[in-house]
Amino acid sequence: MYYSKQQDVCLERVNMRRIVLLSFLLSLFVFCWVLDGRAKEEDFPVPRPPFSEGIFPCSNCHAGMEANTKRRELKEEHTNIQLKHGSVSRWCLDCHDATNRDMLKLASGEHIDFSHSYELCGQCHGPTYRDWKVGVHGKRIGYFDGGPRTYFLCVNCHNPHDPKFKPIKPEPPPFKPLYKYNPAARSGK
């Protein structure tokens, strides 16, 4: 060996520093990249979530309240909510964040905005989420090409607390072939 141990140590230190720096930069890059990628995927042109009137932001009421994390029947507020959505295994704070009431909470603990609620739904409903992202499940309106469009959120059609699509009144059937409609008779009524 023709270089001293001192030098060796020195070199090692420099290398270490480089590695740390590099790996830091690399991880930063990866983090940014991942964030970026995530942001891209979530960039769906969705409408404002269908909040009940005057209910949002939730922090208006919840800000001064201490979170009661005990699973229970709500008796004072939100009594209109009948949870019919996996109600045996799930309750409010599985989705609503206990610490920040204006946000939703993923299983990972990550907070998401209400306008990104599809991510929350997608945790359990994987295939449906996949179909929704490509436009095969759910409803889209506007331009599919060359203009603004809107992708309806899951919660635009499914009440998250009671997601089954409710029966609706159908529009009238067509007139029978020989039926003669009399507009005067109708307006006279």
Q: Whose Cβ is closer to other proteins: residue 50's or residue 57's?
A: 50
Q: Is 143 in the site for other proteins (CB under 8 A)?
A: yes
Binding residues for other proteins, rule CB under 8 A, total: 33
59-88 residues near other proteins, rule: CB under 8 A: none
Task: Give dist(CA 161, CA 82) in Å, integer.
Answer: 7
Q: Can you tell me which of 26, 107, 142, 162 binds other proteins, judged by CB under 8 A?
A: 142
CB 113 within 8 A of CB 51: no
164-183 residues near other proteins, rule: CB under 8 A: 165, 167-178, 180-181, 183
Q: Whose Cβ is closer to other proteins: residue 2's or residue 175's?
A: 175
8-27 residues near other proteins, rule: CB under 8 A: none
User: Which 3 state secondary structure label does DSSP give 162?
Assistant: strand
* Cβ count within 10 A of residue 81: 14
> Can you state the angle between helices 126-134 and 117-124, rounded to 10 degrees?
130
Both tokens of residue 23? 């790996």
Residue closest to 42 by CA, chosen among 129, 145, 172, 136: 129
* Cβ count within 10 A of residue 20: 10
Q: Whose Cβ is closer to other proteins: residue 58's or residue 150's?
A: 150
Q: Whose Cβ is closer to other proteins: residue 72's or residue 166's?
A: 166
113-132 residues near other proteins, rule: CB under 8 A: 131
Among the residue ranges 41-49, 67-75, 84-92, 143-151, the one whose residues contact other proteins (CB under 8 A): 143-151
